[in-house]
Amino acid sequence: MASLQDLPPEIVLMIGDFTKEPKTLSLLSHYFASIARPRVRREALVNAASKNDTKRFKSILSQCAKLDNLDGPLLRALVCIGNPVYVACALEISPPVYRNSALLGALLREAVCNGHTEVVKLLIDAGCDVAAVPKSNGHAALSLAVDRGHEAIVRTLLDAHGSNPIQDEWSAPAWPLVLNAALAGRLSILQLLLDRDVYPSVLRDGVASKTTGDIIPEIIRLFLAAGLDLNARSEVGVTPVHYALKSSNIPAFHALLNAGADLHVLDDEQATLLHYAALYTGSSFICRILLDAGLDVNAKDSSERPPIRWALLGDSDRSVVVDFLLDAGTELSHRSRAGDTLLHEACWLGNPAYADIFLSAGIDVDVRNNHG
- Contact predicate 11/28, CB 8 Å: yes
pLDDT at 10: 44
pLDDT at 123: 92
% pLDDT > 90, the chain: 23
Residues 6+ apart with CB under 8 A from 245: 253, 273, 276, 277, 280, 281, 286
What 3 state SS string does the chain have? CCCHHHCCHHHHHHHHHHHHCHHHHHHHHHHHHHHHHHHHHHHHHHHHHHCCCHHHHHHHHHHHHHCCCCCHHHHHHHHHHCCHHHHHHHHHHCCHHHHCHHHHHHHHHHHHHCCCHHHHHHHHHCCCCCCCCCCCCCCCHHHHHHHHCCHHHHHHHHHHHCCCCCCHHHCCCCCCHHHHHHHHCCHHHHHHHHHCCCCHHHHHHCCHHHHCCCCCHHHHHHHHHCCCCCCCCCCCCCCHHHHHHHCCCHHHHHHHHHCCCCCCCCCCCCCCHHHHHHHHHCCHHHHHHHHHCCCCCCCCCCCCCCHHHHHHCCCCCCHHHHHHHHHCCCCCCCCCCCCCCHHHHHHHHCCHHHHHHHHHCCCCCCCCCCCC
Residues of the chain with CATH 1.25.40.20: 198-262, 268-372
Domain 268-372 has CATH 3.40.50.300: no
Alpha-carbon gap, residue 318 to 315, rounded angstroms: 8
Residue 60: band (very low, low, confident or very high) from pLDDT cuts 50, 70, 90: confident
pLDDT at 70: 59
pLDDT at 165: 54
pLDDT at 152: 96
Phi then psi dihedrals of residue 248, to 5 deg? 55, 35
The answer on pLDDT for 192 being more than 80 is yes
Q: Give 267-270's long-range contacts (Cβ < 8 A, gap of 24+).
A: 267/236, 267/237, 267/238, 267/242, 268/236, 268/237, 268/238, 269/301, 269/302, 269/303, 270/300, 270/301, 270/302
pTM assigned to the model: 0.64
pLDDT tens track for 91-140:
877 766 566 778 888 889 899 999 999 999 999 998 888 877 676 656 77
pLDDT tens track for 286-308:
999 999 999 999 999 998 999 99
Which is higher by pLDDT, 255 or 31?
255
The CATH code belonging to domain 198-262 is: 1.25.40.20
**In the predicted model, what is the mean pLDDT of residues 21-39?**
50
Which is higher by pLDDT, 196 or 198?
196
Domain 1-130 has CATH 1.25.40: yes
